[in-house]
Structure 1
Amino acid sequence: MSSTLTVTGGAPLKGSVAVRGAKNFVTKAMVASLLGETTSRLRNVPDISDVAVVRGLLELHGVRVSEGAEDGELVLDPADVEVAAVADIDAHAGSSRIPVLFCGPLVHRLGEAFIPDLGGCRIGDRPINYHLDVLRQFGAVVDKRPSGIALSAPRRLRGTRISLPYPSVGTTEQVLLTAVRAEGVTELRNAAVEPEVLDLIAVLQKMGSIISVDTDRVIRIEGVDSLTGYEHRALPDRIEAASWGAAALATGGDVYVEGARQPDMMTFLNTFRKIGGAFDVDDSGIRFMHPGGPLRSIALETDVHPGFMTDWQQPLVVALTQAQGLSILHETVYENRLGFTDALVRMGATIQVYRECLGSTPCRFGAQDFRHSAVVSGPTRLQGADITVPDLRGGFSQLIAALAADGTSRVHGIDLIDRGYEHFAEKLAALGAQAVRDEEPARV
């Protein structure tokens, strides 16, 4: 079955929604529980499908996962970790790329690990070569098979010196999850330092790890013989918070996002204000508002933290279709992240996508055949249309466009949005949106 949302747009979103823990942290913290010898407790966990996938993978490997006393709390007991059947892993993990991060912890615990073919959003190549190269440097033996990749360690993994060609979040997480129990010291240069990475480091330190983070993107990990479980409350999801902020701006609305945290969102908030949006911050969250009057066009380039996050780009582009003048966008993180704009153009937006780098930020895609820059001309009235969701963030952005558009849109495949946005249909209803969800048979 595939889910469809029928949206009647044109009305401002107004009201309050709450965000819980960041998808990009919570799933990694769940994997980290494999490294401990005692039970872990993770709080502020969102009810999203990616969490369900990781929970299922942990249970396949013998981890007992249960609900805690607090709403949104998971209790993870890794006492009986075991090898899982290849077919079970493959069947369960088809929609997620998270299994690659199981490798280091499983090799430490069991001496072996298996990675099936990996899914995830089709927004770029996102190769696992970095991961495999890192694991080899720790001493893992990588065996490529028709059904996936098997890893083993004839002896204990050993610390190493690693310099990443690009500060990849996933590869940084791989190094952290592998190095904490490797023999000796690991030095990682050009590491990712996103808030979600730092929260994972906080979890690993609670478990008994010794990790230092320098100001020049260098992380040093001193391996230890054993780790315990942890108790931790996940940092809030800054991507979801920004998505609701962009939705408020695009629809001319006023949305309070309970749980949003200013320090993690300062770059987004600066850009939001430059466009003409307004916001108020209090101890419990952030209120995002369209204050009236015209929105302003901007030049925007995505970058690794502390730059403008690539996951903020797509929802904000929808708001830029309502800004006066020409906005220029340069995407430097994922090479195929602008495909979602095709649907916006069908809805009446004026967006031209280019292969050239329209910006000054160093970019890996300039000499390649990728449409990774765009010019958005506005303001333009959007009209309802039939839309098929291409990926998680692009799908939510197209949903924002449907909410801002005149008339009715049918947004197909919104089960992809369930991967990262907790109860989003219910939240839309709380904001006054006219959106009805229904199931349709899967195409054969």
Structure 2
Amino acid sequence: MDRIRIVGGQKLHGTIPISGAKNAALPLMIASLLTRETLSLQNVPALADVNMLVRILGHHGVDYSQNGRRVGEDEHAARAIHLCARDIVDTTAPYELVSKMRASFWVIAPLLARMGEARVSLPGGCAIGTRPVDLLLMALEKLGVEMEIEAGYVHAKAPKGLIGAEIAFPTVTVGGTHTAIMAAVLAKGHTVITNAAREPEVVDLATCLNKMGAKIKGVGQSRVEIEGVGSLTGAYHRVLSDRIEAGTYAMAAAMAGGDVMLEGAEPDLLGSALEAITQAGATVTTTNEGIRVQRNGAGLTAVDVSTAPFPGFPTDLQAQFMALMTMAKGRSRITETIFENRFMHVQELARLGAHIKLEGDVALVDGVKMLQGAPVMATDLRASVSLVIAALAAEGETVVNRVYHLDRGFEHLEAKLGRCGAVVERLSNPG
């Protein structure tokens, strides 16, 4: 199993190109099931989760191709992909595939919309009341879906077809909003979604669906209206840039110091996070190229943040910001309001010398003057990259184990940091 070795203490100087957003690419790829024609997506990142979703969609009969592959080149290296679900050959999404990636559960919506039925495994390790799978199913029931949950599978049918309805989410849910939109675009009649997620990735999905012939209004607002259509066409769409990757590298630059240009980053997608980084002591400048982050000499200052749905501080940047705060002067208070059990990185940051105290959904971080390199273990995607950020400023060598988590969400991480002067390398096949 691969590991990443980092020797801390090097400032970062250079340009980091920001990839397409994984959290936008995945629902866009799933939307290919809604049409018999080809959906072409550009700026798709080369990630393990994207590769896995290609396999899952192939199981349902989606044909996949990509541009520009050369002989001997990695089959997922190209940045433009083409998906065609002319014939859906299987409406079952089995546990062995869904369990490997939660977002793949969203195939339930287009399968119901196209075929009137779906049998989809519940995501692995997920109680029905945690993370809003229950809200996702509620939205489908509002649209006329009948379902049973048996032996870990959702058996869903729409005997009269999907029917437009009013869907009021009690809490903001990105997955529920994605699902409701994908189901409603082919439903008969009018659908209104209230308390819809406003995340840029939701907007990107709706923008692409409108290109395909959907009639969606109000995206980016808490109230979304959809007029169902009989069918959708193919389309060409460029995946928006990854705000989480951009925010991660912005925090890495603030942590290590130096001067980094995040090429292609979109500041409008990162308002609250950039504000927190600025308050911590970095200089953040927006340009036509992207976002420039500088910190030379001055120390970091403790900043309190609380995660919230967009446009608030993203839960997907909470672990990274905590790493930044481990060397800030004073005490910072980090409150996680979106997901339970999202402080698993705390114990590993403590191995590097961080002083963090947990009180329920609050982490109290007392900054230290210096972190010390140590072997650490990645527990999930965002936790793993928080360890990389901390290691960039730690004294000595840090080895991050289980980096397959990183490969799920960060394209060419070692190369991007390495080109800016970080001492970072991947170690394969450890003894």
Are 1:186 and 1:222, in contact at CA under 8 Å, matched by a contact in 2? yes
Aligned to 2:89: 82
Which deviates the most, 306-315 or 2-11? Answer: 2-11
SS at match of 1:374: strand
SS at match of 2:428: strand
Change in CA separation of 1:216 and 1:258 when aligned onto 2, cut-off 3 Å: closer
Letter in 2 for 1:38: E
Aligned to 2:263: 258
Query: Matches of 1:380 and 1:329 in 2, distance apart?
Result: 19
Query: Matches of 1:108 and 1:316 in 2, distance apart?
Result: 40
Q: How does 1:16-27 map to 2 (within 5 A)?
A: 16-27=15-26
Letter in 2 for 1:204: L
Aligned to 2:74: none
TM-superposed CA distance for 1:120, in Å, is: 8.5
Letter in 2 for 1:261: E
The ranges of structure 1 where at least 4 consecutive aligned residues each deviate by more than 6 angstroms after the TM superposition are none
Change in CA separation of 1:121 and 1:67 when aligned onto 2, cut-off 3 Å: farther
TM-score w.r.t. length of structure 2: 0.93
SS at match of 1:428: helix
Are 2:40 and 2:80, in contact at CA under 8 Å, matched by a contact in 1? yes
TM-score w.r.t. length of structure 1: 0.90
Aligned to 1:48: 47
TM-superposed CA distance for 1:13, in Å, is: 2.4
Q: How does 1:193-208 map to 2 (within 5 A)?
A: 193-208=198-213
List alignment gaps of at least 5 residues for structure 1.
356-371
Q: Does 1:29 align with 2:18?
A: no
Aligned to 1:416: 405
Letter in 1 for 2:153: G
Change in CA separation of 1:84 and 1:162 when aligned onto 2, cut-off 3 Å: closer
Q: How does 1:262-301 map to 2 (within 5 A)?
A: 262-301=267-306
Q: How does 1:61-76 map to 2 (within 5 A)?
A: 61-69=60-68, 71-76=78-83
Change in CA separation of 1:419 and 1:300 when aligned onto 2, cut-off 3 Å: same
- 1:425 is aligned, of 414, 417, 424, to 414
Letter in 2 for 1:408: E
Q: Does 1:394 align with 2:417?
A: no
Change in CA separation of 1:269 and 1:423 when aligned onto 2, cut-off 3 Å: same
Change in CA separation of 1:240 and 1:150 when aligned onto 2, cut-off 3 Å: same
Q: How does 1:265-414 map to 2 (within 5 A)?
A: 265-355=270-360, 372-414=361-403
Which deviates the most, 194-203 or 93-102? Answer: 93-102
Are 1:385 and 1:410, in contact at CA under 8 Å, matched by a contact in 2? yes
Change in CA separation of 1:85 and 1:173 when aligned onto 2, cut-off 3 Å: closer
- 2:194 is aligned, of 162, 184, 189, to 189
TM-superposed CA distance for 1:197, in Å, is: 0.7
Q: Deviations over 1:349-387 (max 9, x none)?
A: 1111112xxxxxxxxxxxxxxxx1011112331111121
Letter in 1 for 2:379: P
Q: Deviations over 1:216-245 (max 9, x none)?
A: 611111111111111111110000001001
Change in CA separation of 1:329 and 1:92 when aligned onto 2, cut-off 3 Å: same
Which deviates the most, 191-200 or 90-99? Answer: 90-99
Query: Matches of 1:431 and 1:118 in 2, distance apart?
Result: 38
Q: Deviations over 1:283-323 (max 9, x none)?
A: 22212111321221122111111111111221111111121
SS at match of 2:240: coil
Are 1:96 and 1:120, in contact at CA under 8 Å, matched by a contact in 2? no
Q: What is the number of residues matched between the two proteins?
A: 422
Q: How does 1:23-172 map to 2 (within 5 A)?
A: 23-69=22-68, 71-83=78-90, 89-119=94-124, 125-172=130-177
Aligned to 1:224: 229
- 2:252 is aligned, of 226, 247, 259, to 247
Are 1:315 and 1:400, in contact at CA under 8 Å, matched by a contact in 2? yes
Which deviates the most, 40-49 or 71-80? Answer: 71-80
List alignment gaps of at least 5 residues for structure 2.
70-77
Query: Matches of 1:101 and 1:165 in 2, distance apart?
Result: 19
Q: Deviations over 1:254-289 (max 9, x none)?
A: 222111111111222111111110122222221211
Are 1:95 and 1:120, in contact at CA under 8 Å, matched by a contact in 2? no
Are 1:349 and 1:380, in contact at CA under 8 Å, matched by a contact in 2? no
TM-superposed CA distance for 1:61, in Å, is: 0.9
Query: Matches of 2:314 and 2:126 in 1, distance apart?
Result: 17
Aligned to 1:176: 181
Query: Matches of 2:260 and 2:120 in 1, distance apart?
Result: 41
Query: Matches of 2:62 and 2:220 in 1, distance apart?
Result: 36
